[in-house]
Chains A and B, each alone.
Chain A
Amino acid sequence: MTLPAAAIDEWYPVAMAPDRPLRPDQETTLLGERVRVLLDGQEPRVEANDGRNLPVIVRHGHVWTSLGAPKHDLFAIPEGEQPGRRLVECGAIRVRCSPLRAVENFLDIAHFPFVHTDILGSEPHTEVNRYEVRIREEVDEVWATKVTFYQPQAAKSAQGGITTEYMYRVPHPTCSVLYKTCPPRPGEWDIITLFVQPLEEDLCQVWPWMALFDDQTPQADLIQFQQMIFLQDRSILENQIPRLLPLDPGMEMPTRADLTSVAYRRWLKKRGYHYGAQLVAA
């Protein structure tokens, strides 16, 4: 299959950055092609199946590469550079689903009471209040703001239930950045990201990464909190039919709570990003 430029000329995460506990010389898959992540001293190098060297960026705790020639830089997360933040790489979790379904689920809050019960949501607090969504044309990103939800245990550092405020940002077809109320430091945002490496159209590897204000919680607990949340989603993601994300309306039925996903699907369609998507209702 020939891959469209929109998918080829894009940056994707393939490993954790080399200053983290990394197993060098790892083989992995990107868009159906085998690639190898090697270390030249401390410098990561990524090699394609045919031996050619692929472009590399080390940023946001991960090694990013591309099978093509990206015309743009990898997105920045300026708030992540603030002093005092704990940077937490969570490793990769593999999921048998479209990379786009993994991102869409990350943008969804209405599932919290049923999938992350008594942690990110609980009955009867199921209502999704009105929030704002727009595609910021100047940066070509999807943004959802003023998202609020009642959460019994919003973060590892949270003591009891709070109404949490969220902002979602989609700067990349398979990546999203979440800005979230920071329990120990009101006024600041915790940053939780989902970087998705598309292995195949219906198989992906998810690299959660966080930049938090939290001096108390041990690193292993922070990682495991995030892995716990993501693994609760995994059995959902592996059981959606069809596996590919339907971009045409008609196949699935959104409500007002799904405005972010509606904008995300429209944005993907506009960019011509169809890897992991289904265009015509089957």
Chain B
Amino acid sequence: MRPTLYDYVLSPSCYKARLMAALVGSELESVAVDFHPGGDHRKPEFLMLNPAGTLPVLTHGGLILTETTAMLVYLVRLAGRCEWLGGEDPASAARVQQWLAFSARLTASLGLARLHDMLGRPADIDAARWAGTLCLRELESALVENRLLGEDFLAGNAPTVADVACFPYVMLAPDGGVSLDPYPAIRAWTRRIRALPGFVEMPGIHRLHDLRPEPGEAEAAA
């Protein structure tokens, strides 16, 4: 039996679970929850499942998960793809945790700005954007340093759950009026993630058409 994802197509957090499953080659059952305009995540039936009223929710057998980072770890272990959890040594394991925690700051800043600009939710938009900008500057600097050390991803030379946890809200920052133009290292990192085998998009993140051959030139190029 496959895990079931209570899902909203425009939610970057729900997308993290979909992306993680796709990257480790797993499939999920999906139940669409009418977050907008219906507000079904605040209705009694949904609150029975998740009293916090947040999306996504992942259920599997008797297990109910309501925190996205926990879902990422679960999907990785379930698929037996533990390389996505990062290295076993203390520093590598801690670096992954560091970025998983950081991802919550992205949600609270860039995610809030996006909800404001896209769905008209109330927010102190200038404060949300500036908090998001500070997060992006931290991320940019970390990625510059990683590149100097010869590392392509957040917690080393291979992608981990940390990258999946941080990628969606970063990539969708422009939805909330925060441009990615000032961050070349971030843009290069998002391209590396988008080029991973099994990668799937969500609305607002376009297909990396660069990777496909031009129709009519396919054979010539190969």
A96-137: contact bitstring with B at CB < 8 Å (1 yes, 0 no)? 100000000000000000110110000110100000000000
Chain B CB within 10 Å, residue with most, of A90, A96, A227, A229 = A227
Q: Report whether over half of chain B's contact residues are helix, strand or loop; otherwise say mixed.
A: loop
Do A227 and B203 touch across chains, with their CB atoms under 8 A apart?
yes
Q: Do residues A224 and B37 form an inter-chain contact, with CB atoms below 8 A? A: no
- How many A-B pairs have beta carbons closer than 8 Å: the answer is 81
| 8 A Cβ contacts from A141-173 to B | none
- A21-B37, A219-B34, A223-B38 known; A232-B117 Cβ under 8 A: no
| A200 contacts partner chain B, Cβ-Cβ < 8 Å | no
Task: Name A233's closest neighbour in chain B (CB-CB).
Answer: B203
Residue on B nearest A205 in the bound complex, by CB: B120
Chain B residues, CB < 8 A from A70: none
In contact, B9 and A227 (Cβ under 8 angstroms) = yes
List of B residues within 8 angstroms of A223 by Cβ:
32, 34, 37-38
Question: Please, how many residues of chain A have a CB less than 8 angstroms from a CB on the other chain?
Answer: 34
Residues of A contacting B9 with CB < 8 Å? 224-225, 227-228, 231
A5 to chain B, nearest CB (A): 28
In this complex, what residue of B is CB-closest to A118? B207
Check: A214 CB closer than 8 A to any chain B CB. no
Complexed CA–CA distance, A236 and B131 (Å): 25
Known: A94-B117, A205-B120, A220-B32. A123 touches B10 (CB 8 A): no
Least Cβ–Cβ distance between A42 and chain B, in angstroms? 18
Whole-angstrom distance between the Cβ of B93 and the nearest chain A Cβ: 36
The answer, yes or no, to whether A235 is at the interface (CB within 8 Å) is yes
Check A231–B204 contact: CB distance below 8 A.
yes
Partner of B209 from the list A92, A114, A232, A238 (CB cut-off 8 Å) is A114
Which of B32, B37, B175, B215 touches A90 (beta carbons < 8 Å)?
Answer: B37
Q: Contact string, A198-218, partner B, CB cutoff 8 A, digits 1/0? A: 000000010000000000001
Interface presence of A16 (CB below 8 A): yes
* Among B36, B175, B204, B216, contact of A91 (Cβ-Cβ < 8 Å): B36
B10 touches A227 (CB 8 A): yes
Say which residue of A16, A114, A219, A235 sits within 8 Å of B174 (CB atoms). A235
| With A93-B118, A94-B117, A220-B40 as contacts: A234 and B204 at CB distance below 8 Å | yes
CB-contact partner of B177 in A90, A96, A118, A231, under 8 A: A96
Q: Does A89 sit at the interface, judged by CB under 8 A?
A: yes
Chain A residues with CB under 8 Å of B201's CB are 117
Which residues 62-109 of A have a CB within 8 angstroms of B?
Answer: 89-94, 96
| Closest chain B residue to A22, Cβ basis | B37
**A40 beta carbon closer than 8 Å to chain B:** no
B204-A96 in contact (CB<8A): no
Q: Using an 8 Å CB-CB cutoff, how does the interface string of A222-265 with B read, 1 for contact, 0 for none?
A: 01110111111011001000000000000000000000000000
A220 x B120 contact (CB < 8 A): no
Given contacts A220-B32, A220-B33, contact A232 B203 (CB under 8 A): yes
Set A20, A96, A117, A124: member contacting B117, Cβ < 8 A: A96
Q: Are the C-beta atoms of B216 and A220 separated by less than 8 Å?
A: no
Asked if A19 lies at the interface with its beta carbon under 8 angstroms from chain B, I say no
With a cutoff of 8 Å between Cβ atoms, the chain B residues found around residue A114 in the complex are 206, 209
**Which B residues are CB-close (under 8 A) to A225?**
9
CA distance A264 to B212 in the complex (A): 34
- Quick one: which of B183-206 are within 8 Å of A by CB? 201, 203-204, 206
Check if A221 is an interface residue, CB within 8 A of chain B.
yes
* 14 sampled A-B residue pairs with Cβ under 8 A: A21-B38, A91-B38, A94-B117, A94-B119, A117-B207, A123-B215, A219-B38, A220-B40, A223-B37, A224-B8, A227-B36, A228-B203, A231-B10, A235-B174
- List the interface of chain B (C-beta within 8 A of A): 8-10, 32-34, 36-40, 117-120, 174-175, 177, 201, 203-204, 206-207, 209, 212, 215-216
Extra A-B contacts (14), CB below 8 Å, given A92-B120, A117-B207: A91-B38, A92-B119, A117-B206, A123-B215, A218-B32, A220-B32, A220-B34, A220-B40, A223-B32, A227-B9, A227-B10, A229-B203, A230-B203, A231-B9
